[in-house]
């Protein structure tokens, strides 16, 4: 087109907001000196709904400022802002003019369009763009175009926030221009099919400019054309989030030629690995993770990518080699690691702005130290595996089996029963699958990963502090508190789960409340929190993440849910104490409700078995503790405990001298410290009728509170201490900072052992040699009696200080849930027998326990952790003498750490009874058992060769069969249950109660016997509901996507074009 020709320009603006500042943009639009200009406003439904008069009100407002403009409503809000501009093709006919796409937040100079049109004609360019500046300070540059490398990473010509001194005022070719103000030839726009609607905001500029280059068009920046943006620096994306990274990766995969694509993918994979390593040591692990996941997840978007490639191939006229000549050589991303600045969004009392701050290598070094400390401190665990201590029992083999156990209704705990299986089975199964079915590796990495996950959660929570010093202090304090390492040494998996997830729940709670990073310059109390407006979709996402984190913690132990809810309420109380605002307090209270209800729902149907005692931990805190033990649970020397106690000093100091939002977080941290400590010190396991969680779990929120207060102390030194007149604050702050260093020393010293103090020889290892898995007489069970802390599996307390648990023969089985789940009938039966033994009313304990398949009774005396082995070690008072008086119970030779007794009258868990044993089965009551001679007992063995308990094998692997010689009774040592089916020659045999408590069936003749287990249908319904709830929760966490399969369209798409540009429509 000739330079002297007046070209018609269609200016397109998508109105997605109707705020008060829109008027300044509209005035600038109307003041353009270029005359051949027609304005087209496309109004989104969101903008229409924001006006009291709807679309008509927005239309009148637009035409008042820009007379003669064309205003059309868009159909929906699902398209991106830029892709919605494609609707201009429904309004304009012809292709001889120009399209000027403007953002509704921009304020162009009076002659901006004139300069753009002139340069486009002079340079014969396809796309031109202006110099973007900050509307609040027009000397600050936002962008004057950008270069890009072959991996889609952009390199701006200017430094963000750079002062405009006309140093970039030369017209030049660039690879990328911002779509916030873009002039493009109409024929080119239609040739390349406009903006790609599958590209989200933030990736559209690279996409359309790259496609224009492929079509042979020039992309030119015109600095004489100046356009201001009312959003300032925040209007131009820097290191994008996950959506921007996916857009970048997808653009590269869609626009790279087929011949170069395989090499490009390999290059991107190598780059992702290198970037991840660099990110770990430069404090940019999050950006590296987003880049890697965007590439790895690309196959899930292959259909959309193939569609984009087909669209691009239609107008590709330049080769990749020619386009590469326009790009930066090498990789821009590595250059970013050499630049020492990062972006930060700070919330002030009246404004929210994005600023640039010097990047520190402190976070990377701190994280490297934490990771190194975990690896060195767990070196023996990494090489030898987890010790079988506490709840660290070996995980069951086969992820499929564990998941199937969750899907079924058979809980093998105790003697087994039809009941809802704990959700932890599904969690463990999924973790095992993620580690390619290496159960030992999965268990080890779960324990060690909990340490890293907890540290990561604390780091994210402390993003509210603008200074790296504060975040590092919180990270180091939380990572070195004794609670986590001592929990590993003591084998407390539920404590580690709470340690890993509690900071994340508080983090999502503060995101629900809209609390962001406050301005570091705030001094006085006019800003208790940096609160921003949170869109509803982000609140839904945060609420869903909060519920899922709470549910996973509760899957390890329901009592963790109590601690999470209480911690969020303590945060709310702390917020109210500093008058942080009713909205903030309300959202933290709502977070507590979401955590509690969400954690309960996502653990259905198992959660329906929870009781108040379960949620309170069963009163695990047996007696009050002193303040030192409240913060230092490890079995350390008194000196080390006193050093840890110094972490309380920053708690007091932070509340004393911090100001503004720093004081708010100090008070919240103090609430998390003081309330649990007061409960531990003052109450012996309960508050009135309410049981409270055990000391181990209550220490976790204390650790979180100490970390928050340490962050407040470290982050406030420059503004709340150093800048004030010398007085008591300066020495107090100095002492508090020194206390932080001293307080972490015991945690650092804990890495020396190599296993965090875990015992070398454990009770489960010893017991594995006492009770062989195979027996000539068939399978059997073991009854454990004694101190609840010493039982190898979670036990039911049947008397003060006395608990019971039943396991199958062989090594101690994997029990994933810390909550004992034996059926109530069995617990009641054992409790009654123990009462009779204790009262001296029976000498036939063996016969009374025989129907349950119990062959051995074990009384642990020490496990090497809770009780030291010594010559005075003894079981619960009176238990050993009472056992010695039993006529059918005999002591057997055993190690000094456990007393073992054999039951001479035992009945196998699956048996065929004849004679007096069959007669006794038909009679209920202890008297019948005591007087009966238990003979005529034959074990039913699974012909598949399994040595495990037959009832568990049948419930897990399907029915089994055998031949019976004649009449008798089939005895299954499980509670009476209609889910069991017994057939003789294919005919059902009625099920009845055996010995008043077990399952039995009377056989009247010889024949082929089949035993099977059929889970009730309701279990599958519950599993379906559980899966549906989790799918809903996961879907809610997905970041809202602006991609759609079609471009934006005006609501009345059937209307004929109202503007004619002439020429073909393309």
Per the structure, the complete domain to which residue 496 belongs is given by 385-392+438-753
Rounded to two decimals, the pTM is 0.73
Cα 922 from Cα 915, distance rounded (Å): 11
Percent of the chain residues past pLDDT 70, beyond the cut: 80
Q: How many domains does the chain have?
A: 4
pLDDT in tens, 821-850: 777 788 888 888 888 888 888 888 888 888
Can you give the pLDDT at residue 870? 44
Write down the number of H helices and E strands in the chain.
Answer: 40, 37
Can you give the pLDDT at residue 550? 94
Cα 349 from Cα 528, distance rounded (Å): 9
Can you give the pLDDT at residue 295? 82
Distances (CA, A) of 362 to 333, 354, 874, 1046: 21, 22, 53, 46
CB 767 within 8 A of CB 843: no
214: in domain:
yes
Can you give the pLDDT at residue 515? 85
Joined tokens for residue 843: 């000498």
Q: Are 224 and 99 found together in one domain?
A: yes
pLDDT of 590 strictly over 50: yes
Q: Which of 184, 219, 238 delimits the end of a domain?
A: 238
Q: Are 618 and 523 found together in one domain?
A: yes
pLDDT in tens, 614-645: 676 653 434 444 455 555 554 444 555 666 77
Can you give the pLDDT at residue 339? 52
pLDDT of 912 strictly over 70: yes
325: in domain:
no
DSSP assignment letter at 566: H
pLDDT in tens, 38-94: 998 888 888 888 777 888 888 888 888 889 888 888 876 555 566 677 777 777 776
Q: What is the dihedral of CA 299, 303, 309, 314, to 10 degrees?
A: 170
Helix (H) or strand (E) holding 900: strand 898-903
What's 197's domain CATH number?
3.90.550.10
250: in domain:
no
Q: Which residues contact 172 (CB under 8 A, 6 or more apart)?
A: 145, 220, 221
Can you give the pLDDT at residue 758? 73
Q: Which residues contact 7 (CB under 8 A, 6 or more apart)?
A: 1, 36, 96, 97, 98, 117, 121
Q: Are 579 and 698 found together in one domain?
A: yes
CB 866 within 8 A of CB 789: yes
65: in domain:
yes
- On the 0-12 / 13-18 / 19+ scale of CB atoms within 10 A, 595 is buried
59: in domain:
yes
pLDDT of 386 strictly over 60: yes
Phi, psi of 722 (to 5 degrees): -65, -30
In this prediction, residues 446-466 reach a mean pLDDT of: 88
Q: Which of 888, 903, 918 delimits the end of a domain?
A: 903
Can you give the pLDDT at residue 945? 55
Nearest residue to 29 via CA among 50, 48, 15: 15
Q: Are 736 and 803 found together in one domain?
A: no
Tally of CA atoms within 13 A in the half-sphere of 548 that contains its CB: 18
Mean pLDDT score of the chain: 79
Can you give the pLDDT at residue 944? 63
Nearest residue to 110 via CA among 222, 34, 221: 34
Can you give the pLDDT at residue 620? 40
Where residue 1053 falls among pLDDT bands split at 50, 70, 90?
very low
Distances (CA, A) of 386 to 139, 447, 637: 61, 9, 25
Number of other CB atoms surrounding residue 277 within 10 Å: 12
Q: Which of 688, 721, 753 delimits the end of a domain?
A: 753
In this prediction, residues 182-205 reach a mean pLDDT of: 83
pLDDT in tens, 305-338: 888 888 888 788 888 788 888 888 777 766 665 5
In this prediction, residues 1021-1040 reach a mean pLDDT of: 83
Q: Are 785 and 729 found together in one domain?
A: no
Joined tokens for residue 243: 């959506």
Q: Which residues contact 999 (CB under 8 A, 6 or more apart)?
A: 971, 972, 974, 975, 976, 977, 980, 991, 993
Phi, psi of 228 (to 5 degrees): -95, 150
In this prediction, residues 439-448 reach a mean pLDDT of: 84
Q: What is the dihedral of CA 968, 972, 977, 978, to 10 degrees?
A: -50
826: in domain:
yes
Strand partners, 969: 913, 1002
Percent of the chain residues past pLDDT 90, beyond the cut: 14
pLDDT in tens, 917-953: 888 888 766 666 776 677 778 888 776 655 556 777 7
Place of tokens 């007489």: 777
Q: How far is CA 467 from the centre of its chain?
A: 25
SS3 for 461? helix
Can you give the pLDDT at residue 107? 92
Can you give the pLDDT at residue 571? 93
As a whole number of angstroms, the longest Cα–Cα distance in the chain is 118
Helix (H) or strand (E) holding 691: strand 690-691
DSSP assignment letter at 810: S
Q: Are 769 and 727 found together in one domain?
A: no
Q: Are 790 and 687 found together in one domain?
A: no
Where residue 581 falls among pLDDT bands split at 50, 70, 90?
confident
Phi, psi of 907 (to 5 degrees): -120, 130
Alpha helices in 935-1046 (DSSP H): 950-957, 1017-1037
pLDDT of 701 strictly over 90: yes
Q: Are 513 and 625 found together in one domain?
A: yes
Can you give the pLDDT at residue 293? 81
Can you give the pLDDT at residue 238? 47
pLDDT of 1045 strictly over 50: no
Can you give the pLDDT at residue 815? 66
Q: How far is CA 574 from the centre of its chain?
A: 25
Can you give the pLDDT at residue 872? 45
Nearest residue to 175 via CA among 49, 329, 311, 35: 329
Can you give the pLDDT at residue 871? 42
Place of tokens 């309701």: 1018
95: in domain:
yes
Q: Are strands 1007-1013 and 980-984 parallel, antiparallel or unpaired?
A: antiparallel
Q: Are 615 and 660 found together in one domain?
A: yes
CB 574 within 8 A of CB 679: no
835: in domain:
yes
In this prediction, residues 995-1005 reach a mean pLDDT of: 86
Q: Are 852 and 950 found together in one domain?
A: no
Can you give the pLDDT at residue 108? 93
Where residue 820 falls among pLDDT bands split at 50, 70, 90?
confident
In this prediction, residues 586-610 reach a mean pLDDT of: 90
Q: Check residues 211 and 532 and name the one with the higher pLDDT.
A: 211
Can you give the pLDDT at residue 1040? 47
Strand partners, 860: 898
Place of tokens 């996502």: 602
In this prediction, residues 598-604 reach a mean pLDDT of: 91
Comparing 18-27, 355-364, 570-579, the range with the smallest average pLDDT is 355-364
Can you give the pLDDT at residue 499? 94
CB 615 within 8 A of CB 544: no
Q: Check residues 292 and 398 and name the one with the higher pLDDT.
A: 292
Joined tokens for residue 680: 């531990």
Q: Are 172 and 23 found together in one domain?
A: yes
Q: Are 631 and 733 found together in one domain?
A: yes
Cα 213 from Cα 152, distance rounded (Å): 14
Can you give the pLDDT at residue 883? 79
Can you give the pLDDT at residue 118? 92
Q: What is the dihedral of CA 850, 853, 857, 860, to 10 degrees?
A: -150
pLDDT of 756 strictly over 80: no
Q: Which residues contact 487 (CB under 8 A, 6 or more apart)?
A: 495, 496, 499, 696
Cα 943 from Cα 945, distance rounded (Å): 5
């Amino acid at each position: 087109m000739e330079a002297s020709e007046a070209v018609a320009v269609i200016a397109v603006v998508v109105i997605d907001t109707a705020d008060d500042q829109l008027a300044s943009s509209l005035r600038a639009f109307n003041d353009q000196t270029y005359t051949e200009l027609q304005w087209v406003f496309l109004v989104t439904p969101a903008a229409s709904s924001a006006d009291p008069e709807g679309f008509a009100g927005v239309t009148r407002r637009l035409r008042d400022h820009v007379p003669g403009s064309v205003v059309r409503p868009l159909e929906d809000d699902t398209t991106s802002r830029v892709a919605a501009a494609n609707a201009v093709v429904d309004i304009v006919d012809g292709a001889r003019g120009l399209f000027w796409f403007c953002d509704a937040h921009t304020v162009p100079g009076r002659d901006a369009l004139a300069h753009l049109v002139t340069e486009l004609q002079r340079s014969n360019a396809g796309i031109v763009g202006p110099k973007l500046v900050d509307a609040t300070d027009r000397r600050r540059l936002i962008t004057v175009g950008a270069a890009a490398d072959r991996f889609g990473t952009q390199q701006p010509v200017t430094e963000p926030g750079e002062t405009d001194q006309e140093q970039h005022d030369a017209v030049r070719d660039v690879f990328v221009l911002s779509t916030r103000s873009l002039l493009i030839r109409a024929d080119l726009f239609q040739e390349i099919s406009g903006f790609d609607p599958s590209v989200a905001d933030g990736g559209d500029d690279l996409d359309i400019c790259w496609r224009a280059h492929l079509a042979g068009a020039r992309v030119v920046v015109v600095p004489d054309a100046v356009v201001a943006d009312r959003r300032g620096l925040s209007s131009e994306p820097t290191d994008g989030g996950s959506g921007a990274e996916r857009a970048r990766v997808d653009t590269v995969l869609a626009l790279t030629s087929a011949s170069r694509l395989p090499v490009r993918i390999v290059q991107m994979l190598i780059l992702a690995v290198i970037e991840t390593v660099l990110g770990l040591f430069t404090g940019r692990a999050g950006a590296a993770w987003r880049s890697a996941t965007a590439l790895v997840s690309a196959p899930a978007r292959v259909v959309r990518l193939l569609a984009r490639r087909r669209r691009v191939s239609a107008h590709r006229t330049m080769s990749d080699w020619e386009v590469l000549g326009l790009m930066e050589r090498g990789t821009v991303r590595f250059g970013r690691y050499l630049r020492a600045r990062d972006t930060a969004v700070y919330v002030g009392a009246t404004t929210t702005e994005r600023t640039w701050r010097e990047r520190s290598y402190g976070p990377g070094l701190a994280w490297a130290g934490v990771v190194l400390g975990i690896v060195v401190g767990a070196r023996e665990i990494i090489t030898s595996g987890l010790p079988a201590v506490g709840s660290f029992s070996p995980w069951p083999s086969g992820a499929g089996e564990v998941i199937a156990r969750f899907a079924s209704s058979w809980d093998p705990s105790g003697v087994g029963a039809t009941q809802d299986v704990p959700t932890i089975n599904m969690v463990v199964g999924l973790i095992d699958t993620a580690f390619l079915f290496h159960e030992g590796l999965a268990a080890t990495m779960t324990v060690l990963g909990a340490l890293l996950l907890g540290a990561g959660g604390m780091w994210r929570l402390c993003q509210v502090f603008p200074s790296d010093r504060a975040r590092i202090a919180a990270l180091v304090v939380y990572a070195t508190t004794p609670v986590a390492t001592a929990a590993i040494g003591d084998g407390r998996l539920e404590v580690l789960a709470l340690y890993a997830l509690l900071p994340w729940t508080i983090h999502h709670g503060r995101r629900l409340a809209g609390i962001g990073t406050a301005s570091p310059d705030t001094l006085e109390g006019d800003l208790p929190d940096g609160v921003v407006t949170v869109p509803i979709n982000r609140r839904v996402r945060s609420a869903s993440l909060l519920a899922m984190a709470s549910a996973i913690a509760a899957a390890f132990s329901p009592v963790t849910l109590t601690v999470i809810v209480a911690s969020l309420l303590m945060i709310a109380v702390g917020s109210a104490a500093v008058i942080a605002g009713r909205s903030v307090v309300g959202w933290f209270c709502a977070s507590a409700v979401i955590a509690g209800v969400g954690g309960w729902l996502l653990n259905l149907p198992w959660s329906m078995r929870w009781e108040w005692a379960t949620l309170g931990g069963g009163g695990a805190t047996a007696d009050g503790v002193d303040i030192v033990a409240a913060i230092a649970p490890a079995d350390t020397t008194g000196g080390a405990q006193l050093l840890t106690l110094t972490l309380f000093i920053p708690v007091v100091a932070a509340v004393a001298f911090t100001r503004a939002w720093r004081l708010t977080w100090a008070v919240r941290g103090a609430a998390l410290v003081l309330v649990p400590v007061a409960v531990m010190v003052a109450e012996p396991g309960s508050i009135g009728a309410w049981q409270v969680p055990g000391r181990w779990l209550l220490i976790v929120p204390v650790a979180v509170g100490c970390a928050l207060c340490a962050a407040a102390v470290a982050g406030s030194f420059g503004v709340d201490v150093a800048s004030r007149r010398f007085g008591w604050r300066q020495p107090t702050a100095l002492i508090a900072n020194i206390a932080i260093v001293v307080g972490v020393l015991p945690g650092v010293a804990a890495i020396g052992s190599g296993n965090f103090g875990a015992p070398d020889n454990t009770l489960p290892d010893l017991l594995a040699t006492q009770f062989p898995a195979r027996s000539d007489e068939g399978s059997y069970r073991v009854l454990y009696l004694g101190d609840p802390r010493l039982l190898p599996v979670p036990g039911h307390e049947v008397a003060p200080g006395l608990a019971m648990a039943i396991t199958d023969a062989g090594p101690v089985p994997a029990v994933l849930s810390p909550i004992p789940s034996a059926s109530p009938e069995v617990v009641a039966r054992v409790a009654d027998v123990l009462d009779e033994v204790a009262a001296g009313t029976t000498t036939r304990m063996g016969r009374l326990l025989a129907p349950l398949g119990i062959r051995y009774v074990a009384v642990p005396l020490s496990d090497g952790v809770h009780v030291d082995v010594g010559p005075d070690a003894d079981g619960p008072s009176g238990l050993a003498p009472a056992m010695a008086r039993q006529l059918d119970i005999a002591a057997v030779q055993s190690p000094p750490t456990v007393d073992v007794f054999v039951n001479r009258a035992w009945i196998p868990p699956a048996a065929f009874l004849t004679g007096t044993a069959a007669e006794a089965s038909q009679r209920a009551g202890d008297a019948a058992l005591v007087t009966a001679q238990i003979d005529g007992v034959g074990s039913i063995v699974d012909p598949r060769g399994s040595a495990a308990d037959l009832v568990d094998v049948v419930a897990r692997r399907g029915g089994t069969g055998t031949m019976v010689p004649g009449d008798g009774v089939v005895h299954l040592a499980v509670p009476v249950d209609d889910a069991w089916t017994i057939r003789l020659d294919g005919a059902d045999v009625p099920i009845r109660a055996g010995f008043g408590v077990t399952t039995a069936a009377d056989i009247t003749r010889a024949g082929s016997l089949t035993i099977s287990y059929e889970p009730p249908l309701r279990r599958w319904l519950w599993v379906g509901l559980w899966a549906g709830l989790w799918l809903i929760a996961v879907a809610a966490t997905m970041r809202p996507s602006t991609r759609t399969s079609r471009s934006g369209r005006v609501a009345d798409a059937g209307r004929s074009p109202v503007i004619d540009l002439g020429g073909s429509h393309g």
